[in-house]
Chain A
Amino acid sequence: MNNRGIALILSYVVIMVLTIFASAFIARTVSDTNLTARYMDSTKAFWVAEAGLNQAYYNYKNSIPQPVGPVDFPGGGTYTIDAGNLLAVKVTGIFGRTNTQRTVQASLVAVPQLFKNTLSVGGGIIFYAPGSRPASFKVGGKTRISGEFHSSGIPYRGGQYIPGTSWFEDIEEGVSVDQTTLGIPDYNNNGIENEYDDFVQMGRLIAGSYPQSEVIYLQTAGSVLLTSQSDLSRKKVVFVEGNSESWWGGGDIYVWGPSLSSGDDLTLISTHNIVYISSQQAAGSRLSTISWGQYSESTDSETREGVIYSHSYGYWTGGTSPFSTKLIKGNVMINGDVVLEGITNLELDYSDRVLRGDIPPGFKWLFSTQGDPKLMADWQEGE
């Protein structure tokens, strides 16, 4: 027998076994390295996304437009800010050659729970119908009041009593005041909230936070009348600052017929009273008000959208025609009492526009007593 070829075969076998061992070892090392690289990139992508979220918050606070498309992060990687919804801003961080992505999301502004209500009243509601003709008060959505709802009327035509008709979809009385009112944050930094001076400072801060072309800012001891002649196009804020808190201090705003076109979003701010008589509001526009003093409105036939905030009282009274009905879609927040008087036909309806993050100009300055504005809310990771 000739065994001389065995050496070759044996060496083949040995080489084959060694090759298998070596390649398995290399494969394992390579996959371990890749896993580690991916893990590192993922961790870095997470912190890049966090950095982007903080940048988005900084931009938002300082009214800087959010960047569109990927932004290079100084330490490597990129982040992309999706600020389509202020209440769920998404930032995606990408890092490394593995292009690993991590997404974080947060709400940039803590919207007070009050915006789940249609009507929030820190005091009570008095519905005072004259009795001569039916008056009505109707509220869809939630009504939360700290006081009570009273309906009363005057006997008319020999004792015939026609009370106003009221209807609430969902009303709760005696709710604690922090659930029904918004205070003014301590903008003058003297340690006390809810002062007149805080309100004045807030108005100035709001007026200063928008470009000049979008703001009307007046200081006056008199009143400002907005009429159909007023050019409010592209305006975001009208701030009228009176001389003092006293009733002769001025600073009232009268709204009597100004027109808003579709897409307009205007907030009127007064250090005293706001009197709303009428406006020409195209569908899709919004007129909101913030007043230190009373908010009063006539119930002329109109359908409009807006958020009403008064640190003082709310007053609705009959319009020029007894058959007219006013419908306001939005949120009404009155820290004091609400009085409805005369042949009032008022209907309030809920809008979740604010809860969805579409906040009227200036209102985010009011939010900081409920939920610190320096903090983001609802932080979460992933989609």
Chain B
Amino acid sequence: MKAFTLIELLVSTLVLSILVAGIYLILNSGQMAYHTDVGLLELKQPAIHALDVITREIREARGITIIPTADANFDQLIFNTHSKTNVRYYCDNIAGALYDINQDNVVYQLIREYPPLTYKVLTNNISRLKFSQSGNLLTIELQTSKTAVGQRALSFSLRQEVRLRNE
């Protein structure tokens, strides 16, 4: 029996390390893709749902007031419907201490306030909520963003035009 030569050992180690590195890369990108997709899903689903809720209510709104806030990314919307007065939509951090995964950014929530002092959180991770009205057409722009595992910044934007039936 002859033993392996040094060269043979070195070559086999090299081949093995290339293989392991390849496998690691594949696994790692898979893992990243998984986190990104889950993160996006967590951003998209609540945002779509929230926009759906707002749209349904705004279709029957009248007397719409859009109030800009100190933060240029956020507007406040106040309106009436035939049975409700002063329905409000705005972004805030009512939980008080809600931070993103890196603990450095405050997470804003989209809030519906009606009747006054009764709050309903429609979605988290809001980074932009703008309204604009021209005639009986109201445009809603909504953006949600967050940092996924692995420091990846994710964001998702939605834009909806609603024809106001009662204006």
Contacts and interface: CB of A to CB of B under 8 A. Distances in A.
A377 B56 CA distance: 17
Contact of B81 (A106, A376, A377, A380): A380
Nearest to B136: A375
B10 to A, nearest CB: 40
Contacts of B42: none
Contacts of A377: 166
Contacts of A380: 60, 81-82
Nearest to B59: A381
At the interface, is chain B mostly helix, strand, loop or mixed?
loop
B114 to A, nearest CB: 16
B165 interface: yes
A247 interface: no
B56, B81, B165, most chain A CB atoms within 10 A: B165
Contacts of A379: 59-60, 165-166
A170 interface: no
Contacts of B165: 106, 376, 379
A308 to B, nearest CB: 30
Determine the interface band of chain B, counting residues with CB < 8 A from chain A. under 10
B166 A378 contact: yes
Interface in A327-383: 376-381
Contacts, number: 15
Interface in B151-167: 165-166
Interface in B106-164: none
A89 to B, nearest CB: 13
A377 B82 CA distance: 11
A381 B82 CA distance: 11
A381 B56 CA distance: 8
Interface string B38-68: 0000000000000000001001100000000
A381 B81 CA distance: 11
A371 B81 CA distance: 18
B136 to A, nearest CB: 9
Interface in B71-109: 81-82
Nearest to B83: A380
Contacts of B166: 377-379
B40 to A, nearest CB: 16
Contacts of B82: 378, 380
A106, A377, A381, most chain B CB atoms within 10 A: A381
A106, A377, A378, most chain B CB atoms within 10 A: A378
A381 B60 CA distance: 7
Nearest to A46: B56
A380 to B, nearest CB: 5
B59 to A, nearest CB: 7
Nearest to A106: B165
A379 B59 CA distance: 8
Contacts of A381: 56, 59-60
A377 B167 CA distance: 9
Contacts of B56: 381
Contacts of B60: 379-381
Nearest to B60: A380
A118 B73 CA distance: 51
A106 B82 CA distance: 11
B141 to A, nearest CB: 21
A265 B166 CA distance: 31
B72 to A, nearest CB: 32
Contacts of A376: 165
A27 B164 CA distance: 39
Nearest to A378: B82
A377 B59 CA distance: 12
Contacts of B81: 380
A340 B29 CA distance: 92
A377 B164 CA distance: 11
A56 to B, nearest CB: 14
B152 to A, nearest CB: 25
A196 B60 CA distance: 38
A8 to B, nearest CB: 33
15 contacts: A106-B165, A376-B165, A377-B166, A378-B82, A378-B166, A379-B59, A379-B60, A379-B165, A379-B166, A380-B60, A380-B81, A380-B82, A381-B56, A381-B59, A381-B60
Interface of B: 56, 59-60, 81-82, 165-166
Given A106-B165, A380-B82, A381-B59, 10 more contacts: A377-B166, A378-B82, A378-B166, A379-B59, A379-B60, A379-B165, A379-B166, A380-B60, A380-B81, A381-B60
Counting from the closest, the 5 A-B pairs by CB-CB distance are A379-B165, A380-B60, A379-B166, A379-B60, A380-B82
